[in-house]
Amino acid sequence: MARALVVRTVLMMAVLGAAAAASSAPGTRESVREILGARHPVTMTAEDWRKLGGDVDVYLIEAAADTALRYGVRQRAMSGLAAVGGPRAKEFLRDTIQRSKVAPELLSTAVHAYAKGFAKSDPDDVRLVSVPLLDHVDWVVRQGAVRALGEMGTKEAGEALRLRQTRETHPAVQSALRKALGQPEGGKR
């Protein structure tokens, strides 16, 4: 708990400091918000994001943490952080996953984004934070954890998914499990 508070404080200070430093890139924040709010997803590579400004991750974090914004905007911001990568994105997503009061929709996206962004560079940590969420009470979170572990494709991740498959009851998570494990759908809805 104390560690989480310290991490959050340090992270927020880093974000605020970087936001102040980012004043040399006017319009970055507006461009980020415009893309996140687009009627349809705008395909953005890490390079596309960085073209908006060197501190684009700061504005993505700001959007992802903004409680006034729709979950869709915040989910897109997390996907953006997965693409951009870097220590601030990693710390923010990890902190989001470990916070106690996060909406299931956002938690699900955060764990999947964490895997998409960092499964290659830090597979052990991604597995460490994802596996406990396979037993989450909300099926939406379990589905996100399944997709995260499916993203990894490692032997350990596969073992955790197969174990979950023996007791998962929700059809949407069962379907995600089959996809993550490369099993045929079998015509089930």
Partner 1 sequence: MTERARELGGRMLALSAAFGILAGSAAAQDKSEVEGARQARIAAMASRIEYQTRDLSTLAPVAPVVNPIRSQPGPAIRSFTFDWASDTVSFLVYAESGTGSVGITLEPGTPERPNSYGAWASFVFPGVDDPVPPGKYSFDVTGAGSDAAVVKSKSRRGAQPSSGTLDLNLFVLEGCGLTNQGLAEALVVFAEVMADARIKLGKVSVVTVTGAAGLLSPGSFGEANGTAAALSQQFTVNPPNTLGANLFFLKNVPDVYGFSQGIPVALGIPGAASGGVVISVDTHNTDRGFDGRELGLTMVHETGHSMGLYHTSERDGSQHDTINDTPTCAGGSEAGCPDGTNIMFWSGHGVDLSEGQGYVLRRSPIVH
> Which one of 83-91, 124-132, 156-164, 172-180 is the stretch in contact with partner 1 (CB under 8 A)?
172-180
Q: Whole-angstrom Cα distance, residue 105 to residue 82?
A: 17
- Binding partner 1 (rule: CB under 8 A), the pick from 10, 159, 171, 183 is 171
56 CB contacts (<8 Å, ≥6 apart)? 28, 32, 49, 50, 80, 84
Contact between 8 and partner 1 by CB under 8 A: the answer reads no
Contact between 103 and partner 1 by CB under 8 A: the answer reads yes
- Binding partner 1 (rule: CB under 8 A), the pick from 130, 133, 143, 161 is 143
> Which one of 45-53, 130-138, 154-162, 168-176 is the stretch in contact with partner 1 (CB under 8 A)?
168-176
79 versus 87: smaller Cβ distance to partner 1 = 79
What are the φ and ψ backbone dihedral angles of 43, each rounded to 5 degrees? -70, 120
Terminal alpha carbon distance of the chain: 41
Contact between 28 and partner 1 by CB under 8 A: the answer reads no
- Binding partner 1 (rule: CB under 8 A), the pick from 29, 64, 75, 115 is 75
Contact between 37 and partner 1 by CB under 8 A: the answer reads yes
CA 45 → CA 8, 21, 39, 51, 79, distances in Å?
A: 27, 24, 18, 10, 11
